Amino acid sequence: MILSSAPEKTSMTPSRQRRTIALTAGAALLSGAFLTTPALADSETAGSAPAFLAPFFTEFDLTGNGSVSSEELQIVSDALGSTPEAGDELAVVDTDGDGVISISDLAEVASRMVYDDGDFDIIEASALSMQAAMNAGVTTSVELTQAYLDRIEAYDRSVIDDNGGRALNSIITTSEVALEAAEEADRIRAEEGMTSALLGVPVALKDNYNTADMPTTAGCGCWEDNHTTSDAAMVSGLRDAGAVILAKASLDEFAFGFSSEFSVGVDAGDTLLVASPYVTTRTAGGSSGGTGAAIAANLAGIGFGTDTGGSIRVPSSYNQLVGIRPTIGLSSRDGIVPLALSQDTGGPMARTVMDAALALDATTGIDPADQVTNAQAGLVPDSYTQSLDANALEGARIGYFASMLPQNATNQRVWQETVQTLEAQGATVVELAEPAGFGAVLAEPSGSTAEFRHDLDAYIAAHLSPDVAARSLNDIVETGHFVTSRQRTYEQRAAITAEQYEAWAGENGSHTLQLAAGKTLLHEVLNTHELDAIAYPSGTPYGTHAWNMRLSPNTGMPAVTVPMGVATAEDGTIDGAGVNLELLGRDFDEGTLLGLAYALEQAQPARTAPELYGPLG
C-alpha cells in the first residue's frame, strides 16, 4: 500500500495540446489589445529578473529583466517599420536580417515568451510547458498536482500489463500538503509572476531525502515512523524555488543495489519490486528505480535520485530519462540517508535535458553541514540552462574507450547512430588508448561495504526521528522488517570497525587515495586530448556493462546520461528497452556536459513515452 493516500480528487482542466501563440500575440499588439494574464502583468510590475531561462528565451530581452515579456513586445510593436542601424539595441530583434522591423520579427520575439494559451497535455509535459500553460491561465499548479495524484492512484499499484506484467510500485507515499503547496505557488504566480522555472511544478523525491511533511524510510519497513523535523538541504532548495514536493519514490532498500526491492508498506518478511513502465516484467533499475519509473510513466513532473555507484544513471537508462550525477561537492548531501559518503551524491532525473538543468539549478550551494560543498565556490553559473545550445556539439571533442562499448546488437547500432549524429553536428569523436592506471580506476569497489555503518550512524545521530526504535544496523536486523535476503550483508557491514573504516576512507585511506588518483588521471586524459567529455553507454537493454558505472563515482567527476536509442525486435535483445549515452567531464563542468547532451537530444530525440501509461480516461 502507499503509506499516505492521495487527497480527495478535484476536477482537472481537460487535456490540451500545445500550440504556438506568436502570430496571435503579434496580431493582438497590432490591434492594440495585447494578451496578458495577471501573472505576467504582475511579474513586470514586481520587476523580477529570472536567471533561469535558456538563451533561446532571453535572446530578445530588451529591458534587462532576464526574459521576454509584454514590454519587449510593446517596444518591437512601436518600432514596426523602422530600420535600426548596426549597434542599435533594436538590431537584435531584426530576426530575419532584412533591415526592417516587421510583423515577422514581432512574431519571432513573441515566440520566446514562456506563455502558451493552447491545449495542454500532462503526458510528457516539461517544466517550461507547464510554466507556459500556467502563465497563460490554461492550467494551475493545483490542477497539475491533482492530475499527478490521480495518475499515481490509478496506475502505480495496479497491474496494467495483462501479459504477465507487474505493478510499477514506484511511489511509497504522497504528500498530504502537496495541494496546499500548489495553492501557494498559484498565489505567488498571481501576485509576483513566474518567480522560478520550478514554481508550481510537482516533484517526486527518492525516499532517502528527508522531508518534514512525509516520513523518510530509505525503503525499509523498520523506518516507517521516521518523521524528520527538517528537509534535506536539496529539498529546501526545491521548496525555495517554488516546487511542489508531491511524493516519495521507491528505492532499493538503503540504496544498496540495482533491483529496487523494498520492504516499506508491507508486512515484515514481504517485499515489493519496482517495475519499468516500458516492460513491466523487468526492473526499473536502481537504486533510484521508483524515481525512474514514476517520471517515465508521467506520475510527476521531475524526480530526484541518489547515486553511489550508478543509482541515478542505471534507472535513467532503463527508463529513457536524463539523469545528472553531479560533481561530489556541487549539492549538499545533508539530510539524505547515506550509503557511502565518499561517493554519494544526489541529482535530478527528468524527461528532458532542460528539465534536468532547471532542477539542478535549485539544488546547488555551499552548505556548512556538508564541507565538500566548499569546493564549488566561484564555479557554479547563475543557471545551467545558459549552456543549453542546440549547436553545442559544433567544435566539441569527445573521447571514448573501446572497452566500454557493449557488443550486443542494440548497443552497437545505437552507438554507431549516435557517433554519426555527433559528427554530423560538428563534433570530433576520438578513440582513446587506455592510460596506465585506468584499470585500477574501474576496479576500485564501492565504498558501501566499509563506509555504510559509519555514515548511517552519523545520519541516525543527526536526523533519525526519536520515534524510530531501530537505531543501528543490528537493530534493523532485529526488527525483521527489512529485505531479509540481505541479513548477512547488514550483519557484515555492522561488524566494520572504526579502524577498518579509517584504513579505507580516512584521509590517507586506500579508497581515498585511489579516488584522488582516478580524478587526477581522468583530468589528465581530458586535458591531454583536449576533450570536452568522455562518452560511453550507461548500460545495455535492462542491464549494465562491465564497470562503466564506476568511472564517475571513482573519480568524483560529473556525468550526464541522456537517451540515445531504443531496442527493436530485429536487435534480438529486449524490444522497447532504452539505452543511454553517458558523458563524463571535468569537476564542476556540468554546464558543458548538459550543453552537449542538449544538442544531442535536439538532433537525435530518442525518448519515447511508455504506451501502457497514457492519459486517464
The answer to whether 8 touches 110, Cβ cutoff 8 Å, is no
Residues whose CB falls within 8 Å of the CB of residue 547, separated by 6 or more in sequence, listed in order: 442, 443
Residues whose CB falls within 8 Å of the CB of residue 4, separated by 6 or more in sequence, listed in order: 173, 174, 175, 176, 214
Pick the catalytic residue: 102, 175, 259, 311? 311
**How far is 591 from 351, CA to CA, in rounded Å?**
18
The answer to whether 305 touches 292, Cβ cutoff 8 Å, is yes
Pull the grid cell for residue 317. 537508462
Residue 553: name the closest of 523, 530, 519 by CA. 519
**How far is 319 from 118, CA to CA, in rounded Å?**
29
In this structure, the chain runs to a length of 617
Dihedral sign (CA 114, 40, 357, 286): negative
**How far is 308 from 478, CA to CA, in rounded Å?**
26
Give Rg (Cα) of the chain.
Answer: 24
Residues whose CB falls within 8 Å of the CB of residue 448, separated by 6 or more in sequence, listed in order: 256, 308, 309, 339, 340, 493
The answer to whether 539 touches 314, Cβ cutoff 8 Å, is yes
342 is catalytic: no
311 is catalytic: yes
Our CA angle for 391, 395, 399, nearest 5°, is: 110
Dihedral sign (CA 457, 458, 463, 466): positive
Pick the catalytic residue: 141, 236, 250, 287? 287
H or E segment and range at residue 265? none
313 DSSP 8-state letter:
H
Dihedral sign (CA 15, 18, 21, 24): negative
248 is catalytic: no
**How far is 109 from 76, CA to CA, in rounded Å?**
8
Pick the catalytic residue: 102, 111, 206, 276? 206
Hey, which residues are catalytic here? 206, 287, 311
